[in-house]
């Protein structure tokens, strides 16, 4: 692939949301100094500015940005500010999210389905409207258009049963060797059914800080070998809770007439993730802790942090919807770029 073709696959830089993200964008485009570590240390760890700045730093390790030199992925100045942003975020996460001391306790919490569910998927299943499904799909595209990629960082840091189990689940996420079944491609088809633009990174400017945080935590855990246990915990949380939530989402897609591809994406996850849950618990977690029992607290924290950030996102989204307003920044998502929306 030529450099020009590769650049076309990279998204445009989003708009800054404060001094941190503005300084990071300046570094990427003009080579100006990045924000000082002291600024990062005093920023709101869950706020728009810090989360966008962190997202910008992480995306350099994925597709990068159009017009940004790919060598900046390893720019020492940017890596330094990324570390300061991560320290701020991780410190507060450990304070706010830690709930369980053991993996068994943390996993047990994931296995309980509330009688009166209050999650986003419960709302959409029972009473959600098509515009709300579009909003959620636009937000979640920040992860689902690169589904499995953040978790793949942990593979070189595992061995034995944990590595084999993780690789087996990731193989399914990547379509079992079939390009048309890669889950990121299936999600793009879902977005097409909903009239959304499927370009990677298209909805970053629309995504609120709680959504950015749920995406950033995967890269935070995945890019640090020292946090491999946390990444396994995150992965477990996603896979264990996915099947019942996907069943509700599939029902919401059918009830609102979202379209066959939108239904299929969640139908696929109902079946696949029910199997993945068993592999993750019996092979990935158990295999990791057999080899490295000292990582149990990290695995539990990875689960707790995932639940904590998901709950923050749910509160943000549902509060907006109950008031009849959008949960996105800047209003409802635009449609596909080729339909004039």
Contact status, residue 9 vs residue 202, Cβ threshold 8 Å: no
294-304 mean pLDDT? 98
pTM of this structure: 0.94
Q: What is the pLDDT of residue 111?
A: 85
Query: How does DSSP classify residue 65?
Result: -
Q: DSSP for 284-330? A: IIHHHHHH-GGGHHHHHHHHHHHHHHHHHHHHHHHHHHHTTS-SSTT
pLDDT in tens, 41-83: 999 999 999 999 999 999 999 999 999 999 999 999 999 999 9
To the nearest whole percent, how much of the chain has pLDDT over 90?
A: 86
Q: DSSP for 185-237? A: HHHHHHHHHTTB--STTTTTTT--HHHHHHHHHHHHHHT-GGGHHHHHHHHHH
Contact status, residue 193 vs residue 265, Cβ threshold 8 Å: no
| Both tokens assigned to 286 | 């158990």
| Both tokens assigned to 35 | 């924000």
9-32 mean pLDDT? 96
The per-residue pLDDT of the chain, averaged, comes to 93
pLDDT in tens, 191-230: 999 999 999 999 999 999 999 999 999 999 999 999 999 9
Rounded Cα distance between 330 and 206, Å, is 6
Q: DSSP for 151-165? A: HHTTGGG--HHHHHH
314-323 mean pLDDT? 96
Q: What is the pLDDT of residue 8?
A: 52
């Amino acid at each position: 692939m030529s450099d020009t073709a590769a650049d076309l696959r990279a998204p445009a830089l989003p708009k800054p949301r404060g001094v941190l993200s503005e300084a990071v964008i300046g570094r990427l485009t003009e080579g100006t100094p990045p924000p000082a570590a002291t600024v990062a240390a005093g920023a709101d760890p869950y706020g728009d500015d810090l989360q966008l700045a962190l997202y910008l730093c992480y995306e350099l390790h994925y597709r990068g940005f159009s017009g940004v030199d790919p060598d900046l992925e390893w720019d020492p100045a940017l890596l330094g500010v990324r570390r300061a942003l991560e320290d701020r975020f991780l410190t507060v996460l450990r304070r706010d999210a830690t709930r369980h001391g053991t993996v068994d306790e943390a996993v047990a919490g994931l296995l309980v389905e509330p009688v009166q569910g209050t999650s986003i998927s419960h709302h959409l299943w029972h009473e959600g409207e098509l515009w709300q499904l579009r909003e959620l799909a636009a937000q979640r595209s920040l992860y689902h258009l690169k589904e499995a990629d953040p978790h793949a960082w942990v593979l070189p840091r595992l061995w034995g049963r944990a590595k084999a189990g993780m690789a087996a689940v990731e193989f399914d996420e990547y379509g079992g060797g079939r390009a048309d079944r890669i889950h990121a491609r299936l999600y793009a088809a879902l977005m097409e059914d909903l009239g959304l633009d499927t370009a990677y990174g298209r909805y970053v400017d629309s995504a609120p800080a709680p959504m950015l945080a749920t995406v950033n935590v995967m890269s935070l855990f995945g890019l640090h070998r020292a946090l491999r246990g946390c990444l396994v915990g995150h992965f477990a949380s996603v896979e264990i809770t996915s099947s019942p939530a996907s069943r509700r989402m599939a029902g919401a897609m059918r009830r609102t007439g979202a379209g066959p591809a939108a239904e299929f994406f969640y139908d696929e996850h109902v079946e696949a993730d029910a199997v993945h849950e068993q592999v993750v618990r019996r092979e990935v977690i158990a295999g990791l802790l057999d080899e490295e029992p000292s990582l149990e607290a990290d695995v539990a924290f990875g689960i707790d942090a995932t639940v904590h950030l998901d709950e923050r996102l749910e509160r943000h989204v549902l509060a907006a919807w109950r008031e009849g307003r959008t949960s996105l920044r800047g209003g409802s998502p635009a449609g596909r770029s080729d339909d004039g929306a």
